[in-house]
Amino acid sequence: MKKSFAMSATAFALLFGLAVPIGLSAQVKTAPPHFRHYKLAGIGTFGGPDVSLAVEPIAQILNKRGVAVGEAETSTPNPYYPNGNPFVGGGAYIGHSFSWHHGVLTDLGTLPGGSNSGAVWINDAGVVAGISENGEIDPLLGFPEGIAVIWKDGKIISLGTLDGGYESVANAVNDWGQVVGPALNTVPDPYSMLGLGTQTRAFLWENGVMRDLGTLGGPDAFAIYVNDLGQIAGSSYVNSTPNPVLDPCGSYALNVPTEDPFIWENNKMIDLGTLGGTCGFANGLNMRGEVIGQSDLAGDQAFHPFLWKQGKITDMGTLGGNFGAANWLNDAGEVVGDATLPGDLVPHGFLWREGTMTDLGALDAYPCSDALAINASGQIVGAANDCVQFEHAFLWQDGHMIDLNVFVPPGSGVVLEEADFINDRGEIIGYASLANGDEHGFLLIPCDENHSGLDGCDYSLMDTPETATAATTPLTAPILSVGPSSRFPSSLRRRARRGPLGSSSRLIPNPSLADGVQSSSRGAGGRQAGFLRDSLNSLVGAPGRCVINDQTNKLTGGCVWSNSWFCWSGHSSGCPVGAQARKPGEGACHQDVDTDWPCTP
């Protein structure tokens, strides 16, 4: 019997609710001889409009068995909207964690009493990590509590919190069942990494016990990754002394202490240092104990991707500009990310291998690009965009980039916007927009020897190469407009529209897609884009996120992260003193995709 998990164009159309023609291979454009044809499968919802994937920093949302995880909306209105938990389910519809395998979408459910849940990570054993509401209201914050959970053997398990706190999220789980993430305690903290008034602490959960990993000397830390050796990567404040200038880490308090990346091993948290600036954070960890991330240079006016291994931090450089970030690395130490070209107006995805950074280029109609993930074979996926709004998912291998939309049936109205992760079998997961504007997930399965017998698969090689644009693509005006930073769970928002309880930063030159901590209909959270997006936004003078008085819900005029150099001074024209915050549960006024100015006079 032929395998059925890679759906035909007809099944894809049914899943997305579209009438599209059959026969993908006949519609495929040409590409280099080494590219395979792919089967396209849709990942739908539980009746609501959108799917959310954990993509910021990049998370393993597709394991080696082809099981995908994320959050899918139901058709049931969210009873807490618009004041829902910003870590999970803050949208207009209730959203549940899902797993998808062989074309079957499974609702993973929530903790008893909870309405919303979101999956962040799946290990190769099939254990899923994430967050769920538990039916209780956080007495400190006034919105539904969100608790770190795992789903294992068909059951949901609460991991709890630390020191009486009410919020936590599981960011990653290794194949031994060790889980890491951040949790809030109840100790007041003016520099809270999550901007919620109490300390954020990194945790390790194993054998039913949650453990506080401590810090590098400051009040806050959070954990992002854990490998199968039990090593953990994250970032931490190194002291409690606020820096006298801008906040380069894009946190929710002005002039926060210095933040450094760490690796935790042998029961000890090790400071990896920075490239000279006051902000650095980890974005990835492999089985060799190598850590990647982003760090400010001295003076905090530029930041570069870094690689840490064997006790040494290395500046990976850029593509000629001042900014760059590393997004993912494989176990061979190959790193992908994005960096700006000379002039800092155009970012391109890069591959860093054995000390050399290679510009991956972009697509003909989409001159900006970002590389998000790389597998063991060196295949790279990401998104290219027009540097203003529209984007297309890409696959890069052996020196060539292909637009993955060549596998979409013409006339369907479906656009594969972003390829977020690729596993070692070459299967690709990402976001697709439908003709009606809804966001669903997609899976592309290669027609190769590892996927024999797929119904309708074309196993021939593709013929001639598509071309990638050169790094010198001309642009006529500054077109970067990138969204605010955030530190919310990686499971719960789309790219710049979603982000982890962890730190990552990546250029998103896409104003219509940028948002901060907005509780949108697609989930809550927001990518922590950090200094990269914020500093580049100074080119267009976008508004900043504003501090409010927690008692009156009125704006104070202060800015807790920056979208412009002026906002970094602590003041912004977008933060009028005395204005009312639009969404009290979020504690801020900010710009997002749904409204121009979500606060009232």
Mean pLDDT across the chain, nearest whole number? Answer: 77
Among the residue ranges 20-24, 185-189, 321-325, the one predicted with the least confidence is: 20-24
Flag whether pLDDT at 482 surpasses 80.
no
Residue 177 gets the label, from left (phi > 0), alpha (psi -120 to 50) or beta, of left
Flag whether pLDDT at 489 surpasses 60.
no
The Cα–Cα gap between 416 and 204 comes to 36
What is the amino acid identity at position 131? I
- Tokens representing 257? 């202490």
Q: 382, 418 in Cβ contact below 8 A?
A: yes
The predicted structure's pLDDT at residue 34: 76
What is the amino acid identity at position 560? V
pLDDT digits 0-9 by tens, 364-400:
989 999 999 999 999 999 999 988 778 999 999 999 9
pLDDT digits 0-9 by tens, 317-327:
999 999 999 99
Residue 390 CA, distance from chain mean position? 18
The predicted structure's pLDDT at residue 218: 97
Q: 336, 371 in Cβ contact below 8 A?
A: yes
What is the DSSP annotation of 447-512? -SGGGTT-TT---SBP-S---EEPTT---SS------------TTSSBBTBB--SS--------GG
Flag whether pLDDT at 115 surpasses 70.
yes
Residues 537-557 have a mean pLDDT of: 50
Flag whether pLDDT at 239 surpasses 50.
yes
Question: How is the chain split among helix, strand and coil, in percent rounded to 5?
Answer: 5, 40, 50
Residues 451-479 have a mean pLDDT of: 57
Flag whether pLDDT at 487 surpasses 80.
no
Query: What does the angle CA 65 – CA 69 – CA 70 come to, to the nearest 5 degrees?
Result: 165
Question: Structural domain boundaries of the chain?
Answer: 9-469, 544-601
The Cα–Cα gap between 206 and 211 comes to 8
The Cα–Cα gap between 283 and 300 comes to 19
Please report where in the chains the tokens 């956080």 appear, as a residue. Answer: 138
pLDDT digits 0-9 by tens, 313-349:
999 999 999 999 999 999 999 999 999 999 998 999 9
Flag whether pLDDT at 204 surpasses 50.
yes
What is the DSSP annotation of 95-112? EEEEEEETTEEEE---ST
Q: How confident is the model at residue 472 (pLDDT cuts 50, 70, 90)?
A: very low
The Cα–Cα gap between 316 and 419 comes to 24
Flag whether pLDDT at 272 surpasses 70.
yes
Residue 79: CB partners within 8 Å, gap ≥ 6?
Answer: 115
The predicted structure's pLDDT at residue 193: 86
The predicted structure's pLDDT at residue 82: 84
Among the residue ranges 81-85, 156-160, 373-377, 479-483, the one predicted with the least confidence is: 479-483
Quote the pTM value: 0.78
- Residue 427: name the closest of 373, 467, 463 by CA: 373
Question: How far apart, in Å, are the Cα atoms of 597 and each of 163, 535, 576, 579, 591?
Answer: 37, 21, 11, 11, 6
Flag whether pLDDT at 574 surpasses 90.
no
